[in-house]
Chain A
């Protein structure tokens, strides 16, 4: 680089923003593991500087003309040169800011949530690693660098999901997350190789340019797009690989918040955004993505209807919201996906953090339990939770309403109305399942009645009083900030759209604004909330959802459409009995057999040779003679 990097403020900020979390990870892991306070301080300090840098970058380049790319050579192998650097354009800058903000707030929140945990240093170290990986992923200029950090994100989420590794289910969940996302990553890697073969490098800007489409035949393009989409499916927990995400709840709640809002699962959607033009060149891949997104959205929504675990509800909602984003992107509405990703990051983090406070206080995940123990007494978290759920449901003044509306508009532009109908139905379900836990917690129905509730409230007050109030407020402030963000983000639609639209991406359609769609959305959202109110909120409601009245459906949803069973069956039958039996056979027959064969052959040859020379001098003489003659031939000819 000709420009000294110190004098280039943009580059300096980018380097600081991405590298500081790594530094804090290393320092914490190497030096301050035994000092939780210092570790947390370091980690938060590094993160706040990163945050400032990210915001500075966003501010500095608000009116950017074209993407900035900084690259240094990292590895040269033959004709393939792998650069390392930064790609700063609206997509990455926005995402960087989102990651930094959410990460920072969650780290602050964790101070309260994780207080007293013996592994707090480790926690902050992994957190830093996670954020570093995610932020570097966001600014990666090449697919290769992106892939490296993509895997690092997977690794650190594995570490964090299995953070309480002494809990069997936690370590199992960590492994599950790791392995299932890996399945997608294999596909993604193959897709990358395909692109590399045809393009010669993996620069994201070049992949996004139409040149690639000209170089690859449409079929290959579709194939590579589908393969890369496989990686997105794994990371963003879409249809076939979705079951790891609900299990990932075993980690600490702030981790879930981070995982669900802005880092791990968002990485998949982010990759889609990043390569949006590339996907856009392949209509088949787009349709496939639309299908997968719709399917996951609906499946996850139905699963969320029945579960009693509050974190699991939000996890399913994450899957379905990611499905929405992918639908929006696949419909060609680039900005809608990106915008929904941003707003979703805010309200989903908020939802998780609120439920984190509830769980932390009452030490249960069950929504009925939470209600019974007096969840409504925690005013701030409940209020924030309501705001976030409203955003999730898509109620008008909140951010989710705007972003979801954009997606619906994008879908409305498609010729096939099936997608739009599915999305609208999903919106209805979303509103229903978002408010179901809220009403259950707010209006606990126990056989007894008001007095019981009062006593529960009083006990919970004792409980929270016993809990130090400083911790409570450490957790409270991020909630309030995020709630503010949830409220306001929707009104930033226009400037953000302007910002994102600056580097005009090919294929972004002009989005029409049918008014009836807006009303339909509002009506459906309100209808969903109303249904939830009817069933759970009313004074005389039995708190039994309509799904639970149909046992077959209920079981189907509660068992996650038997996906886990299918995987279990698949692993058991096909892999254990089929493939590994084949391998066992291979071991026995081919490998053991060939080794036995070699040893037997050696013995036989030895016997043969021992026959041949019986320890007899003369045969050796004969052999010498023969060899001599042959050597003579060799030398003379």
Chain B
């Protein structure tokens, strides 16, 4: 039981707890805030698993940009006041059942598959390494993704252009 192990479990518990609260919150703003904490936890986990660049991006993009975007929308349309209906039984029962099934299956697979006991050793991929790797090996994908972002911006602008604010900015 090393320090890193402890750190992992603490982070895992933190992530799961905050996510669990987030998805059950009636209040949307609270839910988003909890989720921001969850993403912070994920960022730390990334760091622990040797991906500092991704940890930074997680904080910037997920916790920063995306969640803030959510907050913008929620506040813009004054969603706090909207009362959310409880989902009908026919909707959440299959979801819960399938979720449990899925988890059970996942556990079985994880513990029976060879190599899942493989202990992870700390290692670090420096941002420089990852950046070089990305732009050397996956430059085409990078281009495509940037194009995708561009298209998304145009689409979002087009959708939100009618009246008043567009309501979207891009990270």
Task: Say whether A622 contacts B91, CB under 8 Å.
Answer: yes
Q: Give Cα A119 to B109, complex, Å.
A: 88
B95 at the interface (CB under 8 A from A): yes
- Residues of A601-637 contacting chain B, CB below 8 A: 618-619, 622, 625-626, 629, 632-633, 636
CB distance from A567 to the nearest CB of B (A): 66
Q: Give Cα A633 to B103, complex, Å.
A: 11
B102 at the interface (CB under 8 A from A): yes
Residues of A within 8 A of B95 (CB): 622, 625
Residues of B within 8 A of A619 (CB): 91
Task: Say whether A636 contacts B105, CB under 8 Å.
Answer: yes
CB distance from A423 to the nearest CB of B (A): 88
Partner of A632, one of B91, B94, B102: B102
Task: Say whether A626 contacts B105, CB under 8 Å.
Answer: no
- Residues of B76-111 contacting chain A, CB below 8 A: 91, 94-95, 98, 101-102, 105, 108-109
Task: Say whether B109 contacts A636, CB under 8 Å.
Answer: yes
Please name the residue on chain A nearest to B109 by beta carbon: A636
Residues of B within 8 A of A625 (CB): 95, 98
Most B CB contacts (10 A, CB to CB) among A626, A629, A632 go to: A629
Q: Give Cα A629 to B95, complex, Å.
A: 10
Task: Say whether A626 contacts B98, CB under 8 Å.
Answer: yes
Residues of B within 8 A of A633 (CB): 101, 105
Task: Say whether B91 contacts A618, CB under 8 Å.
Answer: yes
Given A619-B91, A622-B91; A629-B98 close (CB under 8 Å)? yes
Residues of A within 8 A of B109 (CB): 636
Residues of B within 8 A of A622 (CB): 91, 94-95
Q: Give Cα A629 to B109, complex, Å.
A: 13
Task: Say whether B91 contacts A629, CB under 8 Å.
Answer: no
Please name the residue on chain A nearest to B102 by beta carbon: A629
Q: Give Cα A633 to B109, complex, Å.
A: 10
User: How many of chain A's residues touch chain B, expressed as a range?
Assistant: under 10
> Main SS of chain A's interface residues?
helix
Task: Say whether B94 contacts A626, CB under 8 Å.
Answer: yes
What per-residue 1/0 map shows which CB atoms of B4-27 lie under 8 Å from chain A?
000000000000000000000000
Residues of A within 8 A of B91 (CB): 618-619, 622
What per-residue 1/0 map shows which CB atoms of A347-389 lie under 8 Å from chain B?
0000000000000000000000000000000000000000000
Residues of A within 8 A of B102 (CB): 629, 632
Residues of A within 8 A of B105 (CB): 629, 632-633, 636
CB distance from B116 to the nearest CB of A (A): 14
Q: Give Cα A636 to B94, complex, Å.
A: 21
Residues of B within 8 A of A629 (CB): 98, 101-102, 105
CB distance from A633 to the nearest CB of B (A): 6
Please name the residue on chain B nearest to A621 by beta carbon: B95
Q: Give Cα A522 to B95, complex, Å.
A: 105
Q: Give Cα A632 to B94, complex, Å.
A: 16
CB distance from B110 to the nearest CB of A (A): 11
Q: Give Cα A619 to B87, complex, Å.
A: 11
Please name the residue on chain A nearest to B113 by beta carbon: A636
Please name the residue on chain A nearest to B90 by beta carbon: A612
Please name the residue on chain B nearest to A637 by beta carbon: B105
Residues of B within 8 A of A618 (CB): 91
CB distance from A625 to the nearest CB of B (A): 6
CB distance from A610 to the nearest CB of B (A): 15
Q: Give Cα A633 to B98, complex, Å.
A: 11
Please name the residue on chain B nearest to A623 by beta carbon: B94
CB distance from B89 to the nearest CB of A (A): 13
Q: Give Cα A294 to B93, complex, Å.
A: 84
CB distance from A318 to the nearest CB of B (A): 82
Q: Give Cα A24 to B91, complex, Å.
A: 81
CB distance from A88 to the nearest CB of B (A): 80
CB distance from B54 to the nearest CB of A (A): 26
What per-residue 1/0 map shows which CB atoms of B99-142 lie under 8 Å from chain A?
00110010011000000000000000000000000000000000
Please name the residue on chain B nearest to A632 by beta carbon: B105
CB distance from A523 to the nearest CB of B (A): 102
CB distance from A2 to the nearest CB of B (A): 73
Please name the residue on chain B nearest to A626 by beta carbon: B98
Q: Give Cα A632 to B103, complex, Å.
A: 11
Q: Give Cα A146 to B4, complex, Å.
A: 96
CB distance from A583 to the nearest CB of B (A): 46
Please name the residue on chain B nearest to A627 by beta carbon: B98
CB distance from B106 to the nearest CB of A (A): 8
Please name the residue on chain B nearest to A612 by beta carbon: B90
Q: Give Cα A629 to B101, complex, Å.
A: 8
Q: Give Cα A126 to B105, complex, Å.
A: 80
Q: Give Cα A629 to B108, complex, Å.
A: 14
Q: Give Cα A264 to B108, complex, Å.
A: 82
Residues of B within 8 A of A632 (CB): 102, 105
- Residues of B121-167 contacting chain A, CB below 8 A: none
CB distance from B111 to the nearest CB of A (A): 13
Q: Give Cα A633 to B104, complex, Å.
A: 11
CB distance from A577 to the nearest CB of B (A): 54
Q: Give Cα A626 to B96, complex, Å.
A: 10
Please name the residue on chain A nearest to B98 by beta carbon: A629
Q: Give Cα A622 to B89, complex, Å.
A: 13
Q: Give Cα A633 to B108, complex, Å.
A: 11
Q: Give Cα A626 to B94, complex, Å.
A: 8
CB distance from B65 to the nearest CB of A (A): 24
CB distance from A79 to the nearest CB of B (A): 54
Residues of A within 8 A of B108 (CB): 636
Besides the contacts A632-B102, A636-B109, what 14 more A-B pairs have beta carbons closer than 8 Å?
Answer: A618-B91, A619-B91, A622-B94, A622-B95, A625-B95, A626-B98, A629-B98, A629-B101, A629-B105, A632-B105, A633-B101, A633-B105, A636-B105, A636-B108
B contact residues vs A (CB 8 Å cutoff): 91, 94-95, 98, 101-102, 105, 108-109
Q: Which 8 A-B pairs have the closest CB atoms?
A: A629-B98, A629-B102, A626-B98, A629-B101, A632-B105, A636-B109, A625-B98, A626-B94
A contact residues vs B (CB 8 Å cutoff): 618-619, 622, 625-626, 629, 632-633, 636
Write 20 A-B pairs (CB below 8 A) sorted by A numbering.
Answer: A618-B91, A619-B91, A622-B91, A622-B94, A622-B95, A625-B95, A625-B98, A626-B94, A626-B98, A629-B98, A629-B101, A629-B102, A629-B105, A632-B102, A632-B105, A633-B101, A633-B105, A636-B105, A636-B108, A636-B109
